[in-house]
Amino acid sequence: MKIKNIRAREILDSNGYPTISTEIEVWSGEIGKAEVPSGTSTGKTEVVEMRDQDPERYNGKGVLNAVETINTKLKDLLVDKEFTSQKEFDQMLIEADGTEFKEKLGGNTILSCSMAFARAVTEAFGLELYEYLAMTYWDKQYDNKNFKLPTPQILVMEGAKHGNWATDIQEYMLVPNMETFENFAEALRASTEVFHSIHEILDSKQYSVGLGLEGGYAPKELKSNEEAFEIILEAIKKAGFEINTHFTLALDLASSEFFNEDKNVYHLKREDEILSRDELIALQENWVNKYPIKSIEDPLYEDDWEGWSLYTQKLGEKIMVVGDDLITTNTKRIKKALENKSINSVLVKLNQIGTVSETLDAIRTTVENNLKAIVSHRSGETNDDFIADLVIATPAQLCKFGAPSRGERIVKYNRLLEIEQRLQR
């Protein structure tokens, strides 16, 4: 592929903050467009976003400098250049930046170009995006009969930073048993019916039915973190489904958000409790024994490698121990976690690492070492459905796209429904 033109502009994400939309045109005339997401709860080792830091504009979160970088520096670098692979394109951007966390050009800047190039090549060859990404991932082992729909972790209630601290737990998710449901469409239908049942239950209790950043219910009237479990389980039954047979639960604790580094304790703000690491592990073990929880993400502070190893030793046989802030889609950190036996599952986010190629490498390192990979959205999303194709293209077993509400989440579920129909033809 030879690059004919590249152009970027500032747009808004689902939280009303600026992000980047980039278009790349190849010489055959096809154009690929990409819109990058942004996180609210972020890990320390994620690549750096380029933000304007101008307090007079979007509270410093503008991306005009990033847009200008694409429209000048990167345009000069890329236009009229010919690339034979996604990796070659991404590597040029990585080398042009030259820093570990992409501080020079910005992870958001680089990712928007990487994703746009993938879409441009897809258009040029008349492929579906998942086909192109699969060819890139599998190389000579590519087989178009290997595509499989993922198991979704579907957000239904949320707290912490995403839900105005309605609970200390950031995300409560439904996980449909894919062996029970006929197909992905049926699993999504059932999950959505449970989501609507939660609305009815909250309304009957005269609790708020307002939504958090990722579309889940975030009622401040909840009396405890555990009351949310009870409401979800009641909703499963109310919708006509059975706990364990049809649904289990998954959590994202985002524990770093309520960890006090100075005192080395966890402060559960909603319940006004101060817990040591051992006490927080014991609390989660109690939840796992009491409720049908099969996955917990970020159960401990992101720099506590020793604690993660203890946690996985204690609970890793019962649940998925998912590294997000601990791993930040970084192959080096995945390998360190393998050495320390810190996790058994990895959350994958494109904008944590900053290129399509490096994301594919992270998934490859994960699954080749018998860990589970979960392709995930961010709290600040766009209507770009790239990650839906990404999870289909790779052997990632699960996806996490938010609640069955809000357009920026629904577009990704709808893309999976479309892909499922395509694969059935």
List the Cα angle 294/296/297 in 5-degree steps. Answer: 145
Exactly one of 214, 302, 358, 381 is catalytic; which is it?
A: 214
Is 349 labeled as catalytic in the residue annotation?
Answer: yes
Beta strands 31-35 and 398-402 are unpaired
Helix (H, G, I), strand (E, B) or coil at 274: strand
- Please tell me the distance from the alpha carbon of residue 404 to that of residue 377, in angstroms, as a whole number: 13
Q: Number of C-alpha atoms within 13 angstroms, CB side, residue 114? A: 28
Specify whether the CB–CB gap between 345 and 374 falls below 8 A. Answer: yes
Specify whether the CB–CB gap between 114 and 357 falls below 8 A. Answer: yes
Residue by residue, what is the 3-state secondary structure of 189-206?
HHHHHHHHHHHHHHHHCC
Specify whether the CB–CB gap between 119 and 112 falls below 8 A. Answer: no
Helix (H, G, I), strand (E, B) or coil at 114: helix
List the Cα angle 208/289/310 in 5-degree steps. Answer: 105
- Please tell me the distance from the alpha carbon of residue 385 to that of residue 214, in angstroms, as a whole number: 15
Is 33 labeled as catalytic in the residue annotation?
Answer: no
Residues in the chain: 425
Specify whether the CB–CB gap between 253 and 185 falls below 8 A. Answer: no
What spatial distance separates the first Cα and last Cα of the chain, rounded to whole Å? 30
Beta strands 151-158 and 345-348 are unpaired
Which residues does residue 5 pair with via DSSP β-bridges, in sequence order? 25
- Please tell me the distance from the alpha carbon of residue 121 to that of residue 126, in angstroms, as a whole number: 9
Instruction: Catalogue the long-range contacts made by 256-263 (C-beta closer than 8 Å, 24 or more residues apart).
Output: 256/41, 256/43, 256/298, 256/301, 256/302, 256/325, 257/41, 257/160, 257/161, 257/170, 258/160, 258/168, 259/301, 261/301
Exactly one of 102, 349, 372, 400 is catalytic; which is it?
A: 349
Q: Which residues of 224-255 are buried (b: 16+ CB within 10 A; e: fewer)?
A: ebbbbbebbbebbebbebeeeebbbbbbbbbb
Which residues does residue 152 pair with via DSSP β-bridges, in sequence order? 399
Q: Which residue is listed with tokens 């209630």?
A: 157
Which residues carry out catalysis?
Answer: 214, 349
